[in-house]
Amino acid sequence: MAEPLPPKERVKIPRQAMPEQDADARARNFDEVNLGLEVVAAQCEAQRCLTCADPKCVKGCPVGVKVRDFVELVLAGDFLGAASKIREDNVLPAVTGRVCPQENQCEGACIMGKRFDSLAIGNLERFVADYERESGQVALPQRAPLTGKKVAIVGSGPAGLSCAGDLCLRGHDVTVFEALHEIGGVLLYGIPEFRLPKDIVRQEIDNMRAMGIEFQTNVVVGKTVTIDELMQEEGFDAVFVATGAGLPRFLDIPGEHLGGVYSANEFLTRVNLMKAYDSSHYDSPIYQCRDRHVAVIGGGNTAMDSVRSAMRLGAGKASIIYRRSMDEMPARQEEVHHAQDEGVQFLDLHNPVEFIGDEQGILKSVRLVKMALGEPDESGRRRPVAIEGSEFEMPLDVAIVAVGTGANPLVQSTTPDMKTNRWGYIQADEESLRTSKVGVFAGGDIVSGAATVILAMGAGRTAASSIDEYLQTGVWETDSAAAES
């Protein structure tokens, strides 16, 4: 057991660096980049925690993980206890420890960060989750007595899984319906193996099965079965819609139909879920990247995932084309730095205006225009403005468009009494996540638009609490102003 130090001594301890694969080696394999903290480094990092009386980090966490408590357990050497403490609020600790943007949430709220490097909360969360998994001693939370109430969860992404976990612990009978052939949603199809190994996701799903949650795959709610059929014919007392925002957006420029032009959704799904990177064992079709110039249009985390995947598929040159400057890029800084270290080239302040093909309809080049930054837009970032007369053509073999997603429309299309907004997202009360349809709740990206894994999980927890209240009371009330917005 490590002995706690006085606060003045704790702040002198440097933040412990995350070990990672060598950049040149990892740029050509799909093995995980970050290697995880060793025990000594984890306890050294835990020693840095100031054990605040009013821990701001907890308030900065969308699912309310009791950070101070679990970090104290790490310092005491009770790593399994620390993992159990996290699981009280987070059913996917090994996932969020890897992909959550802690720098904007728990770590961003850490008071250490005002003068020093903030506590590495995400790295510690990953450490204890990995320790627990490798020990084979996963301590699942105690489930409440069964209530006899049935809840359907539509979608097995982070919002759906988080909601399912909380409802199961409250004693309800929970079934998760997934449209694809494997459970995990965006955790499986959207995030590359080198950031989130899929075996880790599958282990977390197995833990949820052990809790008593039922999972059904290849069920497209809205096509295979409707919301009304789930409630009226299959006896579900409530439904939580967590289908995500999986409808890809394009640039609406000439040439997007050409061979070699992908949406990031399709590209990453083929690579991640269908294992196109492992051609020796899988036959998933994917446009050849090897020794070719691959460019990804966009500057978010999905763009980084796409371009780094292309690099690992053997791209001779992998580029990011982004219409704003590097300072405005919304991707996590860690992902940007990893991409730079791996050899990705960044062409900022440029925007495609046309994809150009050859006689066979295959992409051969892209016409770009140079951009300048104007006045701030509604996002607070300076608006990119095209520079007149700056267009030029650049040879290109593969283009991946990663400029955001829209609402998945399937559930809404067959549930006419569930209100949506003008963009097709489901309208839900901000506090309760109740929709205009009695007994139906919605949350995550299908309500908010594309966001982070942990924010979706926070929505899932909010929905679970609201669903539990509804199942206990039978009272259905929504904020009329929200329902009409």
Query: 381-425: per-residue pLDDT in tens?
Result: 889 999 999 999 999 999 999 999 998 888 999 999 999 999 999
User: In angstroms, rounded to a whole number, what is the distance separating the alpha carbons of residues 109 and 66?
Assistant: 14
pLDDT of residue 429: 94
**What is the tally of structural domains in the chain?**
3
237 and 264 in a single domain? The answer is: no
Residue 234 within a domain: yes
Picking from 157, 153, 201, 161, the residue whose alpha carbon sits closest to that of residue 177 is 153
With beta carbons less than 8 A apart as the criterion, state whether 175 and 224 touch: no
Residue 213 within a domain: yes
> Domain ends where: 94, 109, 135?
135
pLDDT of residue 139: 83
Residue 482 within a domain: no
353 and 450 in a single domain? The answer is: no
Alpha carbon 148 to its chain centroid, in Å, reads 32
310 and 422 in a single domain? The answer is: no
With beta carbons less than 8 A apart as the criterion, state whether 282 and 270 touch: no
Domain that holds residue 39: 7-135
365 and 275 in a single domain? The answer is: yes
Residue 379 within a domain: yes
Please give the average per-residue pLDDT across 108-127, as a whole number. 93
> Domain ends where: 370, 390, 405?
405
Please give the average per-residue pLDDT across 287-297, as a whole number. 91
Q: Give residue for tokens 């051609």.
A: 279
65 and 188 in a single domain? The answer is: no
pLDDT of residue 409: 87
Residue 459 within a domain: yes
Residue 254 within a domain: yes
465 and 344 in a single domain? The answer is: no
CATH of the domain at 101: 1.10.1060.10
Q: Give residue for tokens 């701001």.
A: 56
> Strand 247-248 and strand 238-241: pairing?
unpaired
> Domain ends where: 74, 102, 135?
135
pLDDT of residue 480: 43
* Global pTM value: 0.91
170 and 26 in a single domain? The answer is: no
pLDDT in tens, 241-269: 999 988 899 999 999 999 999 999 999 99
11 and 131 in a single domain? The answer is: yes
221 and 237 in a single domain? The answer is: yes
The pLDDT-based confidence of 478 (bands split at 50, 70, 90) is: low
397 and 270 in a single domain? The answer is: yes
230 and 354 in a single domain? The answer is: no
268 and 334 in a single domain? The answer is: yes
CATH of the domain at 399: 3.50.50.60
Please give the average per-residue pLDDT across 73-95, as a whole number. 94
Please give the average per-residue pLDDT across 431-436, as a whole number. 95
User: What whole-number percentage of the chain has pLDDT above 90?
Assistant: 81
pLDDT at 126 > cutoff 50: yes
pLDDT at 484 > cutoff 70: no
pLDDT of residue 3: 65
Residue 456 within a domain: yes
389: Cβ–Cβ under 8 A, 6 or more apart, which residues?
Answer: none
1-15, 86-100, 454-468: range with lowest mean pLDDT = 1-15
Residue 142 within a domain: no
pLDDT at 86 > cutoff 50: yes
